[in-house]
Chain A
């Protein structure tokens, strides 16, 4: 027969089922509400099943009551963690894969700890021995696991703060935080009186501050220019402009910090509206450069002029297999401001010839650099 408890949970499950179906049909089948109702359906079904089979935990006979009372598990927070894991997993299904993975981690961690604790409590009649076997089974993983999780949370929250602060502000915050940590570590290392409760208080206060600032900045979002560039997607091929035009999709913040400086074959300059090239190792103004065949080659473009320019490489023509139409082949850098530079990486598989000629040009500037591929 149905017990009072199981009736309540069966009713809840039925209500969740109806609500979930209605919500899915009439509201939205894939938003968080649907997942929450289906989650309620699952958990309600699970609990009502438990309640039904255990008859609300009531015992029919005296023997059953004695047997049930013989073992009493000690209080544990792992079931709570396990339940939290289920909730986070469901939340992750509805929101973001990272939340889902986090939920799985909490679920597995809580489940393993709960299982080991439950197993260890029944290992013997000696509670001290049981505690020993529990620690032996999983104690070695507790602190590294917690430390890794803690560091991950700290890194994530701190990164939110750094991404939300301005470029200069982020550097200042980083320096101040690092200086405070070093100074405090030095103080507690040299003054034993500061250890103990005061350290715990300071660390707790720091953690709270980090948590509040991290959550707040995560909600605020990344600083405006980062959000803007991510939205513009100016690195996309679809936004490539290889002419004189100045469209909205280009890197306005380009500077002269190209990191491939030691691996460039040649540098193309534009100065006073004229284009010229210089090969690494030879201080001569050139109008022809040689690029090795079938090899990734970096060409640096340096703009010494007032105007914004871009470097364009013409790599001859190519016949499109499907249509038979000859199309120009080439690529370019983004617009580059005064004293700024950008790099082009080329890999040209075919040699240059009278029929297939290659060159560098700078739209709007005078001159052309012939590219010879032997």
Chain B
């Protein structure tokens, strides 16, 4: 072979091999990049739904279990993958003869059965102990009914020790610090799942069933969560927040929630807003104590308009920090940061101040009143209402004028 032939052959070989190498390199680089991003995401500090930052004994139990199971699973995983990789490479097909086939080695088989059984036994013992500890309800101090529906959570506090009148709320669950709180979960429409990672694991909310979930917070603060069972169009926007207050602050909050309704002073914009609310909103939303011009109590009828049969009760709306299934803040970013980042000893006082006119997030609230389905995907299109018998899933666009919105905002801000 001449020198020229040799060069040509080499060039051809390079031409043939380069694309394969190049694509393989690209795949490896992409995988390495993705792995790096995934690894680095674990370093995020502003991660309110981080399962590895427990803030209560129940979440701590799960974290403790993870600390046992994850290393064991990690070591087993590395060993299995390394062995598999070694076998793939060492015994890959290179045209060699098929080795002699044998029945196997009983000693190896028994060993490889006994070792996983022992590992699973150890994991099982810790897992079962944790499951039973998490299911403990005998020492409950406070029970709260939690009802999921598309796409928000309702909280009602039955009459019990410390609560003389029932309380109904949504978006933010308020609990006392250090108290063993028992959530009794159910659903009005489809299956949802309640999860505040810092306080406990997940628990499905199933129509027709009552599922129990224990929560307990170590210190005052707000703990974020997310519905974790796909429940329809706006599942991703079905959020929740658990607010932990000291026992004294919780008692104040209870007192505030049981305060009687005060109608806005006559002749004010808020009073006009009350009328607009009665005409437009009270078909679905209840404000406890509100009366019509004849002094007759207004009773909402969400069962006639909404598929789930319920809409958020807006009594004391401005004592909460969120609206629309905790998707939007009722307070501006600065005011929100002031509450979220407050020191534990200052948190209660800041939260209990509620939403002042200065702090009200007018932008999102107005946009919501202007066209709610544009802010959060909901079944507002009549053609999508056939399956629900003409009833809405979520809030429809009410076609309010800007004047109506001004009046409503002026009224809603009085609901503390």
- The reply to whether B159 and A265 contact each other, CB–CB distance below 8 Å, is no
Closest CB of chain B to A297's CB: distance in Å?
8
Question: Given contacts A262-B210, A281-B137, A282-B140, is CB(A290)–CB(B299) below 8 Å?
Answer: no
Cβ of A353 under 8 Å from chain B: yes
Question: Given contacts A264-B210, A282-B140, A294-B308, is CB(A288)–CB(B159) below 8 Å?
Answer: yes
Q: How many A-B residue pairs have CB under 8 A?
A: 85
Cβ of B390 under 8 Å from chain A: no
Name the interface residues of B335-375: CB closer than 8 Å to any CB of A.
Answer: none
Question: Given contacts A279-B158, A292-B186, A372-B166, is CB(A351)–CB(B286) below 8 Å?
Answer: yes
Closest CB of chain A to B385's CB: distance in Å?
18
Tell me, in angstroms, the Cα distance from A297 to B241 when the chains sit together. Answer: 26
Name the interface residues of B142-164: CB closer than 8 Å to any CB of A.
Answer: 143, 145, 147, 154, 156-161
- The reply to whether B310 and A372 contact each other, CB–CB distance below 8 Å, is no
Of residues A263, A292, A351, which shows the largest number of chain B Cβ atoms within 10 Å of its Cβ? A292
Closest-by-CB residue of A relative to B139 is: A283
Partner of A374 from the list B143, B160, B168, B302 (CB cut-off 8 Å) is B168
Cβ of A296 under 8 Å from chain B: yes
- The reply to whether B159 and A372 contact each other, CB–CB distance below 8 Å, is yes
- The reply to whether B184 and A374 contact each other, CB–CB distance below 8 Å, is no
Partner of B303 from the list A265, A296, A349, A372 (CB cut-off 8 Å) is A349
Cβ of B178 under 8 Å from chain A: no
- The reply to whether A372 and B302 contact each other, CB–CB distance below 8 Å, is no
Tell me, in angstroms, the Cα distance from A304 to B238 when the chains sit together. Answer: 43
- The reply to whether A281 and B212 contact each other, CB–CB distance below 8 Å, is yes
Closest CB of chain A to B39's CB: distance in Å?
41
Tell me, in angstroms, the Cα distance from A295 to B307 when the chains sit together. Answer: 11
Name the interface residues of A347-374: CB closer than 8 Å to any CB of B.
Answer: 349-351, 353-356, 372, 374
Tell me, in angstroms, the Cα distance from A327 to B77 when the chains sit together. Answer: 69
Question: Given contacts A263-B209, A374-B168, is CB(A351)–CB(B299) below 8 Å?
Answer: yes
Contacts of B310 in A (CB 8 A): 293-295
Closest-by-CB residue of A relative to B311 is: A294
- The reply to whether A282 and B182 contact each other, CB–CB distance below 8 Å, is yes
Partner of B143 from the list A282, A293, A355, A372 (CB cut-off 8 Å) is A282
The number of chain A residues touching the other chain, given as a range, is 20 to 34
Closest-by-CB residue of A relative to B310 is: A294
Closest-by-CB residue of B relative to A352 is: B166
Partner of B158 from the list A290, A351, A355 (CB cut-off 8 Å) is A290
Partner of A350 from the list B186, B209, B299 (CB cut-off 8 Å) is B299
Partner of B313 from the list A298, A355, A374 (CB cut-off 8 Å) is A374
- The reply to whether B166 and A265 contact each other, CB–CB distance below 8 Å, is no
Proximity string of chain B (299-330) to chain A, C-beta cutoff 8 Å, 1 when within and 0 when not: 10111000011100100000000000000000
Partner of B160 from the list A284, A293, A298, A356 (CB cut-off 8 Å) is A284
- The reply to whether B154 and A292 contact each other, CB–CB distance below 8 Å, is yes
- The reply to whether A280 and B159 contact each other, CB–CB distance below 8 Å, is no
- The reply to whether A372 and B182 contact each other, CB–CB distance below 8 Å, is no
Contacts of B160 in A (CB 8 A): 279, 282, 284, 286
Contacts of B15 in A (CB 8 A): none
Cβ of A289 under 8 Å from chain B: yes
Tell me, in angstroms, the Cα distance from A116 to B131 when the chains sit together. Answer: 63
Proximity string of chain B (117-153) to chain A, C-beta cutoff 8 Å, 1 when within and 0 when not: 0000000000000000000011010010101000000
Contacts of B140 in A (CB 8 A): 281-283
Cβ of B48 under 8 Å from chain A: no
Closest CB of chain A to B364's CB: distance in Å?
27
Partner of A295 from the list B137, B159, B188 (CB cut-off 8 Å) is B188
Name the interface residues of A259-293: CB closer than 8 Å to any CB of B.
Answer: 262-265, 279-284, 286, 288-290, 292-293
- The reply to whether A353 and B184 contact each other, CB–CB distance below 8 Å, is no
Closest CB of chain B to A53's CB: distance in Å?
57
Closest CB of chain B to A357's CB: distance in Å?
13
Of residues B140, B184, B210, B313, which shows the largest number of chain A Cβ atoms within 10 Å of its Cβ? B210
Cβ of B208 under 8 Å from chain A: yes
Tell me, in angstroms, the Cα distance from A284 to B159 when the chains sit together. Answer: 11
Partner of A281 from the list B161, B182, B209 (CB cut-off 8 Å) is B182
Tell me, in angstroms, the Cα distance from A281 to B160 when the chains sit together. Answer: 12
Question: Given contacts A281-B137, A294-B303, A295-B309, is CB(A265)–CB(B184) below 8 Å?
Answer: yes
Q: Which 10 A-B pairs have the closest CB atoms?
A: A294-B309, A290-B158, A349-B303, A374-B168, A263-B209, A281-B182, A288-B159, A374-B166, A372-B166, A282-B143
List 16 interface pairs A-B (beta carbons < 8 Å), by A numbering.
A262-B209, A263-B209, A265-B145, A281-B137, A288-B159, A290-B145, A290-B156, A292-B188, A293-B310, A295-B147, A296-B207, A350-B299, A353-B299, A372-B166, A374-B166, A374-B167
Using CB atoms and an 8 Å cutoff, list the residues of chain B in contact with chain A: 137-138, 140, 143, 145, 147, 154, 156-161, 166-168, 182, 184, 186, 188, 207-210, 212, 286, 297, 299, 301-303, 308-310, 313
| New contact pairs (17) apart from A265-B210, A279-B143, A292-B147, CB-CB < 8 Å | A262-B209, A280-B184, A282-B140, A282-B143, A282-B160, A292-B188, A293-B309, A293-B310, A294-B188, A294-B302, A295-B147, A295-B186, A295-B310, A350-B303, A372-B158, A374-B156, A374-B166
